[in-house]
Amino acid sequence: MKKTLLVAAALLAAAAAQAQTSDTLKKIKDTGSVVMGVRGSSGVLSYTLGEGKYVGYHVELCQRAIADIGKQLGLSKPVDIKYQEVTSANRIPLVQNGTVDIECGSTTNNDARAKDVSFAHTAYVEEVHILTKANSPIKGIADLNGKTVATTTGTTSVQLLRKNERASGIDFKEVFGKDHADSFQLLESGKADAFVMDGQIVMGLASKSKSPADYHIVGEALSVEPIGIMVRKDDTAFLAAVNKTLDGLMASGEIAKIYDKWFLQAVPPTNTKVGLPASEYTKAAWKTPNSNSTEALAAGKK
């Protein structure tokens, strides 16, 4: 009987803890702070300037959402944003266990991940590409046969490459970087013949390299993926508050200006340009706010 009571008490405590971590608005109101998951080298979506400072398109959108939430909650001071750098491998677990309240990096919204986390309305739709050195003989998927392909641990890029119908019969070796910058370094150092990842990430890393002209994208896009801001599963009030900000930016047209700031203008610290105009898929997401997954997008639900 005593053992049964102890088990019941433990279950109640766990449920209470889960309820607490799933009410982010209450946490923000009680503590005046929030933990934002960010990436160190996710192109211009989320990256570090060093010394604990993080910037980027998704980072700015999240900052705007948090500022709006602080006002809605009637806080007397701006919400204190604590930045937590995450990786492709740990970003979802850290959102799930409450370490991170909102993740503002470069996470693909797909059906498998949607079982574990919730995604805000899509503000950016990515195309996955192959980046190679300009003097490489690789011109497309068929040329990857017998080559070494770099990608980042915990991402979906190589899985998509292997599933691509044009990759049938293609045999290549995979090498993994711990983050996107590390994956690019594998290509830069000659340890990989190609780097497969989101277009804005590979273009952004190439633009900040020692010799940007030495790299180019080859072949067609491997896939089209909605990239989403993540929050904890079933934290519906917080998700709705984040979406309220995003929807407002989309309705006013302000989101296009924020996009241009990060993708078409020179950005710090190198003052280089990614030079990637908003795609038709991204514009469609702005026009009709949604959190459709990669699978839904592939089925024609823009």
Say which CATH number the domain at 281 has: 3.40.190.10
Prior bond of 93 cis (ω within 30°): no
Q: What is the pLDDT of residue 15?
A: 41
Query: Is 74 a domain residue?
Result: yes
Provide the domain count of the chain: 2
Query: Is 232 a domain residue?
Result: yes
**Other beta carbons less than 10 A from residue 230's beta carbon:** 28
Verify that 120 and 233 share a domain, yes or no: yes
Query: Is 19 a domain residue?
Result: no
Q: What is the pLDDT of residue 223?
A: 85
Confidence of residue 77 (pLDDT cuts 50, 70, 90): very high
The pTM of this model reads 0.80
pLDDT in tens, 95-122: 999 999 999 999 999 999 999 999 999 9
Mean pLDDT, range 267-296, rounded to an integer? 94
Q: What is the pLDDT of residue 282?
A: 97
- On the question of pLDDT at 222 being above 90, the answer is no
Verify that 69 and 114 share a domain, yes or no: yes
The share of the chain scoring above pLDDT 70, in percent, equals 92
Domain boundary among 191, 224, 257: 224
Verify that 80 and 196 share a domain, yes or no: no
Verify that 32 and 120 share a domain, yes or no: yes
Look over the chain and give the mean of its residue pLDDT values, rounded to a whole number.
Answer: 90
Domain boundary among 193, 224, 255: 224
Verify that 215 and 70 share a domain, yes or no: no
Verify that 210 and 132 share a domain, yes or no: yes
Confidence of residue 160 (pLDDT cuts 50, 70, 90): confident
Verify that 235 and 114 share a domain, yes or no: yes
- On the question of pLDDT at 80 being above 70, the answer is yes
Query: Is 140 a domain residue?
Result: yes
Confidence of residue 172 (pLDDT cuts 50, 70, 90): very high
- On the question of pLDDT at 214 being above 90, the answer is yes
- On the question of pLDDT at 6 being above 60, the answer is no
Query: Is 18 a domain residue?
Result: no
Verify that 42 and 102 share a domain, yes or no: yes
- On the question of pLDDT at 138 being above 70, the answer is yes
Between 208 and 29, where is the model more confident? 29
- On the question of pLDDT at 59 being above 80, the answer is yes
- On the question of pLDDT at 194 being above 50, the answer is yes
Query: Is 157 a domain residue?
Result: yes
Confidence of residue 301 (pLDDT cuts 50, 70, 90): low
Mean pLDDT, range 266-273, rounded to an integer? 92
Query: Is 191 a domain residue?
Result: yes
CA distance 273 to 262: 8
Domain boundary among 201, 224, 247: 224
Q: What is the pLDDT of residue 21?
A: 54
Verify that 243 and 281 share a domain, yes or no: yes
Query: Is 200 a domain residue?
Result: yes
Verify that 100 and 230 share a domain, yes or no: yes
DSSP the chain: -HHHHHHHHHHHHHHHHHHHHT-HHHHHHHHSEEEEEE-SEETTTEEEEETTEEESHHHHHHHHHHHHHHHHTT-SS--EEEEEE--TTTHHHHHHTTS-SEEEEEEE--TTGGGTEEEPPPSEEEEEEEEEETT-S--SGGGGTT-EEEEETT-SHHHHHHHSGGGTT---EEEEESSHHHHHHHHHTTS-SEEEEEHHHHHHHHHTSS-GGGEEEEEEEEEEEEEEEEEETT-HHHHHHHHHHHHHHHHHTHHHHHHHHHHTS-BTTTTB----PPPHHHHHHHHS-----HHHHHTT--
What letter represents residue 113's amino acid? R
Verify that 214 and 258 share a domain, yes or no: no
Mean pLDDT, range 191-219, rounded to an integer? 92
Mean pLDDT, range 265-286, rounded to an integer? 93
Verify that 214 and 237 share a domain, yes or no: no
* Residue numbers of the domain that contains 219: 127-224
Q: What is the pLDDT of residue 10?
A: 38
